[in-house]
Amino acid sequence: MEPIPATFEKPEDEKHKHLKDLFLKGFVDGKPITKMLVDGGAAVNIMPYAMLRKLGKSSEDLTKIDMMLKDFEGVVSLAVGALCFDLTIGSKTLPTTFFVINGKGSYSLLLGRD
């Protein structure tokens, strides 16, 4: 048997509309946040350092960790640190640990499996 080339095309019709990214709105420590991306394949919750600054925190507030993470572009780098916040989505509030990275993404937070 010989390998067969495979191509994948972006779904354009209505029956594949459910395959879009899942973005949520919520609150982190009582501050409104939009564009929180849900990624069930991610093992941790990720926050860009710029979002940490918008929440009024700095690197002094972080718990130092020795962990390598892939950023939003797939580049492996050392995490800046970790910090626990109260995450509210709808009527549910949970203490949630975020790992902070020096990276940019098209979303404010990445919500993985806790």
pLDDT tens for the chain, 114 residues: list them: 677 777 767 666 666 666 677 889 999 999 999 999 888 778 899 999 999 999 999 999 999 999 998 766 677 888 999 999 999 999 999 999 999 988 777 789 989 876
23 within 8 A of 105, measured Cβ to Cβ? no
- pTM of the predicted model, to two decimals? 0.77
Domain locations along the chain: 21-111
Greatest alpha-carbon span in the chain = 59
Instruction: Give me the phi and psi of 39, to 5 degrees please.
Output: -135, 95
Q: Architecture of 21-111 per CATH? A: Beta Barrel (2.40)
CA distance 106 to 34: 11
